[in-house]
Structure 1
């Protein structure tokens, strides 16, 4: 695992409007630190206390919470976050909650493994791999506007098959979002 932010997240994080951001399943905090450096107050959430201990820094609040073991309880208010970042994590029951927690002018940046990744290693179970076009379907089902989408093979930080989505809340004018930052 690398400490450098994902190129996808680094590309779209500057498009997030000022406000609180959520780094869900934050691991060691590479994206939380990026978002904080951009001036966002960040809530970094992970189930692993050891990972969260690495995340602490200015502008970052941590929360140890296991979204899969808490009986499906979603702890965040609707419309709370200006930005939500999720990488290398897939728990399908959270999709509706993520869309609901996004502010109407918010940005969701999502990147995780897709079917076909089994030839590169783990994860290899279809339960943890996105189906073709699945992130596009999620955006459509929850009224998000797709700003960018990719589905393919990456070489860094290690070879993998991934899907990537940058989507906006209902009040975002997609034509006004700078994607070349």
Structure 2
């Protein structure tokens, strides 16, 4: 049944970067598989989507905002979250708002389809497929990239690009995480 999907492996893999009890924005959430996942793990969630029926399934999970984020004003001006989650969604004009929504010490987890996907399924229009390294260019200048992948996955067969990045807190503190090239799993620095 639609709406009962498991959270993305990428989101589960990097969820530990989200500060305990922190606020989470699930953007273009659909039926809210990630909002449910984070709420079940003690986070206050805000779920945004244009589908009122999908959002209705999230009653009691967290705050829901029904709006067309592609054609209406940004619904969260000035608000920041400890995590911003975006999966299977791409609307390039929102990159600045997504970036601005990540609070100091917060994390961005973005995963969506990339060029090459047109050879295996939908989406297939270039407007909905990321160019090589596009998420790095969109977010990497302002956020510290902890992990990035760009390539083919299965099952199901698909080309994806995904990033896990943190907004470091201002000041003279050292980076809290470093990426181990051997394992690809961040560990706290001593």
Contact 2:177 / 2:186 at 8 angstroms: preserved in 1?
Answer: no
Aligned to 2:158: 160
- Give me the TM-score of the superposition, normalised by structure 2: 0.85
Structure 1 vs Structure 2 CA RMSD:
1.9
Aligned to 2:17: 15
What secondary structure is seen at the aligned counterpart in 2 of 1:93? helix
Contact 2:86 / 2:110 at 8 angstroms: preserved in 1?
Answer: yes
Structure 2 portions without partners, runs of 5+: 180-184
From the superposition, tell whether residues 150 and 26 of structure 1 become closer, same or farther in structure 2 (CA, over 3 Å).
same
Aligned to 2:8: 6
Whose radius of gyration is greater, 1 or 2?
2
Aligned to 1:68: 70
Aligned to 2:110: 110
Contact 1:22 / 1:83 at 8 angstroms: preserved in 2?
Answer: yes
How many angstroms apart in 2 are the aligned matches of 1:88 and 1:126?
A: 14
Contact 1:15 / 1:179 at 8 angstroms: preserved in 2?
Answer: no
From the superposition, tell whether residues 176 and 115 of structure 1 become closer, same or farther in structure 2 (CA, over 3 Å).
closer
Q: Aligned pair count?
A: 175
Deviations 1:59-118 (A, max 9, x none): x12110111111xx2122435200000000000011111111110111000000000000
What secondary structure is seen at the aligned counterpart in 2 of 1:106? strand
2:44 to 41, 45, 63: 41
Contact 1:81 / 1:106 at 8 angstroms: preserved in 2?
Answer: yes
Contact 1:3 / 1:28 at 8 angstroms: preserved in 2?
Answer: no
> Higher relative contact order at CA 8 Å, sep ≥6: structure 1 or structure 2?
1
How many angstroms apart in 2 are the aligned matches of 1:176 and 1:40?
A: 24
Which is helix-richer, 1 or 2?
Answer: 1
How many angstroms apart in 2 are the aligned matches of 1:68 and 1:139?
A: 19
Contact 1:82 / 1:103 at 8 angstroms: preserved in 2?
Answer: yes
Aligned to 1:87: 87
- Give me the TM-score of the superposition, normalised by structure 1: 0.89
How many angstroms apart in 2 are the aligned matches of 1:89 and 1:19?
A: 23
Contact 2:150 / 2:161 at 8 angstroms: preserved in 1?
Answer: yes
Structure 1 portions without partners, runs of 5+: none
